[in-house]
Amino acid sequence: MALNNVRLLTILFNSCFHFLRQAVASGYKMTAVVFSPSKNVMNVDEVQRKGYAIANTPTRLVLRSPHNAEETYLQNVAGVPMRVLSTSTFFEQKWLVTRVDATAVCPTPEAVAFTPEVITWYMPKHIDPLFSSDAFTMLEVYMGIDAKRLDTEEMAARNYSVLVTEAHIIVEIPVGAVGGYFKSHIQDDQYFVTYTIEPMLELLWIEEVAHENTSYKVLFPITTPPMARPPQVRNYTPLDTVPEQAVFVLELGTFNLDVELLNITFPTMVLTVAECNARGFNVQEQRSPDNTLKTFRMEVPFSDPVVFKERRAEQGVTTFTLQLIYGLVIFPEYAPFSHSAVVDAVLLDIGMPLVTGNCDQENFHITVDYRNQEPFFVVLVGKRLLNHEFAQQYLTEGDTDFTITLPFSSPDAVFESVHSSSVRSRLDVALLNPYNNMTIKYFSLACSFLKTLTECFSNGTMTALAVKVESAPGLNPGQLTLSDPACGPTYSDDRFAYFHFTVNSCGTTRKFINNVMLYENEISLPDELEVKLNATTSSEEEYQ
Ligand SMILES: *[C@@H]1O[C@H](CO)[C@@H](O)[C@H](O)[C@H]1NC(C)=O
Ligand SMILES: *[C@@H]1O[C@H](CO)[C@@H](O)[C@H](O)[C@H]1NC(C)=O
Ligand SMILES: *[C@@H]1O[C@H](CO)[C@@H](O)[C@H](O)[C@H]1NC(C)=O
Ligand SMILES: *[C@@H]1O[C@H](CO)[C@@H](O)[C@H](O)[C@H]1NC(C)=O
Ligand SMILES: *[C@@H]1O[C@H](CO)[C@@H](O)[C@H](O)[C@H]1NC(C)=O
Ligand SMILES: *[C@@H]1O[C@H](CO)[C@@H](O)[C@H](O)[C@H]1NC(C)=O
């Protein structure tokens, strides 16, 4: 923190160099300092006892002052409060006395505005106490970090900006930019971070009257106010499992890198991180991709005694509860803090239900064996929840199982593909935990059903059924036509199109093959739609 309170104050007037060189060369010694505006006179010893450092080289007078030293004062310069130290230093040689006036001006914390995203430092351009007149030209403005000047590319890469306006030089630094650092803090057991950076400004101006260059360099450590970063426990516990294999997966974060996890307090015991790992909790520190933040991840098996279990038999579920207090510290000052959390999970008491299935010529049969336990899950058939009406129509119950029987053409099934004499249809069934809708078990059954999709009648008419397949979800069966685009379906809905036509119409062609007459027609989308939907069904008809 020393950097925040002490500033190096150097004033380099060219004329002084010349004077100092001569003075020191001719044996002048620094004897006293007079501070303005108090007019307090101190000899060099007193000055040093008061906490100032003063020294000279042949070309420089260096005076170092605590930032808030008694002899400094506040002055408002172009609306920005600046701290000023104004001195006259006396040099003596025998009977001769001469003096060097020197003034230092530093920004104060009030010169900075903060938002959660950006630090803005306002520096007056005409730093009044350092000027003897109003007319001047700013020759150079450089920004740097940690006393090192940066070029334009480096500034852009770090998203720093310097804007020179009529009255100010405005430095903007994004909170978190390269060059600064975050530090963790605890206040009332709450977690905060601050961001600190030490920008530098180097100015060079020329005063028109004196025609003298003045260079000014200031290093200005800036720390943002504490920003609250309340940690959170994220729960990644997978629940599609049986209690014997279940684990709580928790992640605590997000922290700055100076935070360490020491121990975890459970209702029955305190375990160090090493003890947690010995117990199989696999505590891991995880870093963000840019390596600036960390979280702590761990896995606690439901079967561990630190997990509290409560069975609710009437509901057929068990609740698992993990209560914990993370014990953390901030380095290097070793400031302790804690974060407590309670997480729970509801698991069904059943073992994993067994789902099997088969098909006959018309139907799917899917059997769910819930193994002597209450079947405490909800069943999703296709996209539909199995409710009472659905159950009445399609469900038969056994002792420890039930069977769902659905026709292959049910809207809950999907057609995977269609061939001239068969249809491949699939039924998806999922068992869900009603407490969180997570999938306990997923089962899918696909079968080919032998189906005559086309028929011929002795009076010379034909029928054909086209079905929508899963791979053509955008298909509107009502838009299908026979070879003659004027022949649309006699009936259609969102899944089927039914055609009924005579063999001498609608573009039907005729072939003789070994005493058999073969009529062919094709069902497709009109050309302009076909490209988009890519679904065609062809039918071949045989008359004997
Ligand atoms: C600079 O700012 C841009 C836009 O705000 C941002 O996308 C980029 O990540 C920043 N670069 C750095 C180094 O912070
Ligand atoms: C002031 O500094 C500028 C830039 O460094 C230089 O070109 C110029 O000669 C200097 N003028 C005087 C009077 O020292
Ligand atoms: C647990 O860690 C905290 C740091 O937050 C520490 O203060 C405390 O003493 C530790 N407890 C035990 C029992 O080690
Ligand atoms: C599960 O999903 C159903 C239907 O989407 C919804 O009504 C119900 O609220 C959900 N239940 C939970 C616990 O999220
Ligand atoms: C031809 O026979 C079928 C089946 O018997 C019948 O549905 C259809 O209406 C008949 N068509 C004509 C034009 O008589
Ligand atoms: C059209 O469908 C066929 C058969 O499903 C498939 O192989 C082909 O990739 C599809 N073409 C386009 C452009 O989607």
Segment among 146-150, 174-178, 349-353, 540-544 with least mean pLDDT:
540-544
- Residue 3 included in any domain: no
Atom index in ligand 5 nearest the CA of residue 457 equals 2
Task: Give the pLDDT confidence of 507-518 residue by residue, as tens digits.
Answer: 888 888 787 888
Question: 436 CB less than 6 Å from ligand 4?
Answer: yes
**Ligand 3 probe mutation, 263, 272, 283, most atoms within 8 A of CB:** 263
Segment among 221-230, 279-288, 495-504 with least mean pLDDT:
495-504
Question: 396 CB less than 6 Å from ligand 4?
Answer: no
Question: 439 CB less than 6 Å from ligand 4?
Answer: no
Decide which of 228, 245, 262 is a domain's last residue: 228
Q: How much of the chain exceeds pLDDT 70, in percent?
A: 89
- Residue 330 included in any domain: yes
Domain that includes residue 311, residue range:
232-348
Task: Give the pLDDT confidence of 49-93 residue by residue, as tens digits.
Answer: 888 888 877 767 777 887 778 888 889 998 999 988 888 888 888
The answer to whether the predicted template modeling score (pTM) of the entire model surpasses 0.95 is no
300 - beta bridge partners? Answer: 248
Q: How much of the chain exceeds pLDDT 90, in percent?
A: 39
**d(Cα 62, Cα 143) in Å, to the nearest integer?**
23
Same-domain status, 127 and 80: no
**d(Cα 364, Cα 334) in Å, to the nearest integer?**
66
Number of neighbouring beta carbons within 10 Å of residue 402: 18
Q: Are 451 and 460 in contact (CB under 8 A)?
A: no
Please state the rounded mean pLDDT for residues 530-534: 38
Do β-strands 96-107 and 112-114 pair in parallel, antiparallel, or remain unpaired? unpaired
Same-domain status, 245 and 341: yes
Same-domain status, 101 and 17: yes
- Residue 366 included in any domain: yes
Same-domain status, 516 and 493: yes
C-alpha 344 to ligand 3 mean position (Å): 24
Q: Which ligand is nearest to the CA of 210?
A: 2
Q: How many domains does the chain have?
A: 5
- Residue 2 included in any domain: no
Same-domain status, 531 and 429: no
Confidence of residue 463 (pLDDT cuts 50, 70, 90): confident
If you ran DSSP here, which 8-state letter would residue 478 be given?
G
Do β-strands 461-467 and 439-450 pair in parallel, antiparallel, or remain unpaired? unpaired
- Residue 53 included in any domain: yes
Segment among 93-107, 135-149, 383-397, 424-438 with least mean pLDDT:
93-107
What are the backbone angles phi and psi of residue 419, rounded to the nearest 5°? Answer: -125, 175
Q: Which ligand is nearest to the CA of 202?
A: 2
State the alpha helices, DSSP H only, in 73-123: none
DSSP letters of 168-190? EEEEEEETT-TT-EEEEEEETTE
Same-domain status, 100 and 127: no
CATH number of the domain where residue 358 is located = 2.60.40
Q: What is the pLDDT of residue 25?
A: 61
Same-domain status, 492 and 533: yes
Same-domain status, 114 and 219: yes
Atom index in ligand 3 nearest the CA of residue 270 equals 13
Tokens 């004077």 found at: 19
